[in-house]
Amino acid sequence: QMSNEEMLERIRSIKEQMGDDLFIPGHHYQKDEVIQFADSSGDSLQLAQVSAKQQAKYIVFCGVHFMAETADILTNDDQKVILPDMRAGCSMADMADDKQTEEAWQELTALFGDTILPLTYVNSTAAIKAFVGQHGGATVTSSNAKQMVQWAFKQKKRLLFLPDQHLGRNTAVDLGVPLEHMAVWDPIARKLEFEGDSEEQIRVILWKGHCSVHENFTTKNIEQVRKNHPDMHIIVHPECKYEVVQQADLAGSTKYIIETIEQAPAGSKWAIGTEMNLVNRLINNHQDKKIISLNPFMCPCLTMNRIDLPHLTWALEEASKGKNTNQITVPNEIAKNAKQALKRMLQGTR
């Protein structure tokens, strides 16, 4: 068992030894002990963009499984993408599988014919991205969802948005689609939930998935902040529920949240509705501002947190020996179609 000091030392020395053969991307939700070693930190879009440009032999991805899959799809066959802990999944991505998606597609196309374009949040499995790519659709991230939904509406009258109903709903509302023109597809009941008068009106079909971290931010939390700190601004991630995003002052991706706080004047006050590690980092880095978590009980993403110092040390140790332990590989057929969906996004949002 290595001490923390020994692990830090080991990581530094492996990074030096491997040089350009190693690249470590890190998502903003990663722990400080991990993110300090990231060669590039960013939101999901930035990490997809930097991974696509990488030449390194080993990409040790500090994030969750779907991000590592994306990196594998966007890099060459001789590059290895490693996930330091295989249990670092994403509960939202697991809410849509390819079989359920095929089922939904059959039902929906029977109802609406050839009027639907599928879009998927990058927080989805490679198989879902492949499905979407095969049907002319694209991936989106929280940074470019608005642009990509506009892009989709230029081609088809309707869209199917997987797997996060909240990002889908918040984005569509932002673009002026009324709630009455949205329906929810429940993949478990295999049913379309719609309360409007005529199905013909439906423009957006939302997959019934969500992020279990961001669902913890509630309108109750907002009421409390408004009552206790009337001069506090509230900024949330668009994976939060519709009511929460509506009542907040600002909403955007992790990159947007960070930039907003960085640009805010000293002395300003902020309640942030996103993952704990990022909120804590912002609190520590901006001591001239008053920052709290919108939910007073900090909300960690348990799977993001599975990547820690011991797992990173171990993964780097293995890679430095030329082993491909914990390699994430997307089968060629899936990768080919998924790449189509990713490319449409990366080209559309350069």
* Phi-psi sector, 254: left (phi>0), alpha (psi -120 to 50), beta: alpha
Choose the one of ligand 13P, ligand SF4, none that binds residue 91, judging by a C-beta under 5 to 8 angstroms depending on kind.
Answer: ligand SF4
Q: Mapped to the 3 state alphabet, what secondary structure does 153-187 carry?
A: HHHCCEEEEECCHHHHHHHHHHCCCCHHHEEEEEC
With beta carbons less than 8 A apart as the criterion, state whether 125 and 341 touch: no
With beta carbons less than 8 A apart as the criterion, state whether 233 and 268 touch: yes
Q: Is 92 in the site for ligand SF4 (CB under 6 A)?
A: yes
Mapped onto helix, strand or coil, the DSSP state of residue 233 is: strand
Choose the one of ligand 13P, ligand SF4, none that binds residue 142, judging by a C-beta under 5 to 8 angstroms depending on kind.
Answer: ligand 13P
- Residue 68 C-beta: closest distance to ligand SF4, Å: 12
User: Binding residue per annotation — 40?
Assistant: no
User: Binding residue per annotation — 122?
Assistant: yes
**In angstroms, what is the C-alpha Rg of the chain?**
21
User: Binding residue per annotation — 237?
Assistant: yes
Contact region for ligand SF4 (CB under 6 A) — 131-139, 206-214, 285-293, 308-316?
206-214
Q: Is 275 in the site for ligand SF4 (CB under 6 A)?
A: yes
State how far the Cα of 338 lies from the Cα of 331, in Å rounded to an integer: 10
Cβ closest to ligand 13P, residue 255 vs residue 339: 255
User: Binding residue per annotation — 299?
Assistant: no
- Binding site residues, ligand 13P, CB under 6 A: 28, 43-45, 90, 123, 141-143, 211, 239, 253-254
Q: Is 304 in the site for ligand SF4 (CB under 6 A)?
A: yes
Q: Is 34 in the site for ligand SF4 (CB under 6 A)?
A: no
Q: Which residues contact 346 (CB under 8 A, 6 or more apart)?
A: 48, 49, 52
State how far the Cα of 205 lies from the Cα of 226, in Å rounded to an integer: 33
Max Cα distance, the chain (Å)? 65
Amino acid letter for position 345: M
- Residue 350 C-beta: closest distance to ligand SF4, Å: 24
Amino acid letter for position 175: L
State how far the Cα of 77 lies from the Cα of 310, in Å rounded to an integer: 28
Cβ closest to ligand 13P, residue 254 vs residue 313: 254
- Residue 65 C-beta: closest distance to ligand 13P, Å: 10
- Which of 90, 183, 202, 271 binds ligand SF4 (CB under 6 A)? It is 90
Choose the one of ligand SF4, ligand 13P, none that binds residue 141, judging by a C-beta under 5 to 8 angstroms depending on kind.
Answer: ligand 13P
- Residue 123 C-beta: closest distance to ligand 13P, Å: 5
- Residue 169 C-beta: closest distance to ligand SF4, Å: 15
State how far the Cα of 166 lies from the Cα of 265, in Å rounded to an integer: 30
Of 164, 170, 174, 141, the C-alpha closest to 349 is: 141
Q: Is 349 in the site for ligand SF4 (CB under 6 A)?
A: no
User: Binding residue per annotation — 123?
Assistant: yes
> Which residues lie near ligand SF4 (CB under 6 A)?
64, 90-92, 123, 211-213, 275, 301, 303-304
Binding site feature residues for iminosuccinate: 27, 44, 121-123, 142, 237-239, 254
Binding site feature residues for [4Fe-4S] cluster: 90, 211, 301
